Structure 1
Amino acid sequence: MDLILNNLPQTLIIVGIFALIIEVAVLGFATFFLLFLGLSLVLSGTMMYAGLLANDWMTALWVNAILTFVLALVLWKPLKRLQQSSNDEEISNDFADIDFILSDDLNDNNQVFHAYSGIQWQLKSDQPLSKGTRVKVVKKEVGVMWVKTL
């Protein structure tokens, strides 16, 4: 216990780094509590080590409580927004770039299938297409190829 008390700034920094590692590696930023606490511990330990704060437990307790609260207030919304951002863009790949000639008329009244890579794919289009039209795959879904004329 004397070792911890005699080296309080270093202890706070080490515990803060462990809290940050657990938040990032184990929890994957699922909760932000350990992030705020870890940053607070590292900052307060650094300030104690630099001589800006008194080197005692009571100062460490109050500074960490206040810093954790302030960091949570400042960083909560930006981190939450960063966590929820997603990219819904279509990914282009070679599969979507195939083209072929329609074997049947394609409209809302009938189902047309195209064999590709050993699978029968249902064809769909935004507009009616006649038999013999050269089409290109523009979008794909599960079991469905969306086509348009070239």
Structure 2
Amino acid sequence: MAFILDNLAQSLIVLGILALVIEVAVLGFATFVLLFLGLSLIFCGTMMYAGLLTEDWLTALWVNALLTFVLALLLWKPLLRLQQSSSGKALSSDFADIDFVLEADLDENSKQYHSYSGIQWQLKSEQPLSKGTRVKVVKKDVGVMWVKAI
């Protein structure tokens, strides 16, 4: 504990880097709390190291509380917009290019499944399809293959 108190500025910087690594590597920017905290710890440690702030726990506590709050106010909406932005167009992949023959009739009420790559996928179609129809996967959702006749 004496080592941390004697090297408070460096300890804050290390804790800030650790918080950023956890936010990015473990949480994948799912929450921004550790991002704001990590940045404030790094800023506070740097200011203490440069001699702009006194090196004591009370100063570190108040400066980090204030910096975390300010960073959250400034960065919350831009980061949220960045996290939610998407192009809006569906991505194509080789997965969507498979075709097969239906083993049973398919309509909006049927619960038909198709095994592909070791997973049971529920089949759905915008129009009713009869047994024996050759279909192609046109879209995929979580656990669902959307098919149409070819």
Q: TM-score, normalised by structure 2?
A: 0.65
Which structure has the bigger radius of gyration? Answer: 1
Identity %: 62
How much has 1:87 moved relative to structure 2? 2.3
1:32-83 superposed Cα distances (whole Å, 9 cap, x missing partner):
1111000000010011101111111111111000000000000000111111
| Map of 1:84 onto structure 2 | 84
The two structures have a TM-score, normalised by structure 1, of 0.65
Matched residue count? 113
What stretches of structure 1 move > 2 A for 4+ residues in a row? 90-96, 110-113
Matching residue's letter, 2:37: L
- The aligned residue for residue 108 of structure 2 is none
1:144 is aligned to 2:148:
yes
Q: Does 1:60 align with 2:74?
A: no
* Separation in 1, partners of 2:11, 2:75: 25
- Residues 23 and 93 of structure 1: is their aligned pair in 2 closer, same or farther, counting only changes over 3 Å? closer
5+ residue gaps, structure 1, are 97-109, 114-118, 123-139
Q: Distance in 2 between matches of 1:9 and 1:84?
A: 35
User: 1:42 is matched by which residue type in structure 2?
Assistant: I
What corresponds to 2:37 in structure 1? 37
Aligned equivalents of 1:86, 1:44: Cα separation in 2? 35
Aligned to 2:120: none
Q: Please, which runs of 5 or more residues in structure 2 have no aligned partner?
A: 98-126, 140-145
Matched, 1:120 2:124: no
Q: Secondary structure at the match of 1:86?
A: coil
Deviation, structure 1 residue 92: 5.6
| 1:109-133 superposed Cα distances (whole Å, 9 cap, x missing partner) | x9899xxxxx8127xxxxxxxxxxx
- Summarize the Cα distance change of 1:4–1:92 in structure 2 as closer, same or farther, 3 Å threshold: closer
SS in 1 for 2:135: strand
Distance 1:37 1:46 in 2: 14
Q: State the alpha-carbon separation in 2 of the partners of residues 93 and 20 from structure 1.
A: 33
Give the match's secondary structure for 1:143.
strand
Asked if 1 retains the 8 angstrom alpha-carbon contact of 2:134 and 2:149, the reply is: no
Amino acid in structure 1 at the alignment position of 2:51: G
Q: What is the alpha-carbon distance in structure 1 between the residues aligned to residue 28 and residue 128 of structure 2?
A: 46
Instruction: Give distance in 1, aligned partners of 2:128 and 2:78.
Output: 48
Instruction: Compute the RMSD of aligned alpha carbons.
Output: 2.8
Partners of 2:15 and 2:43 in 1: CA distance: 12
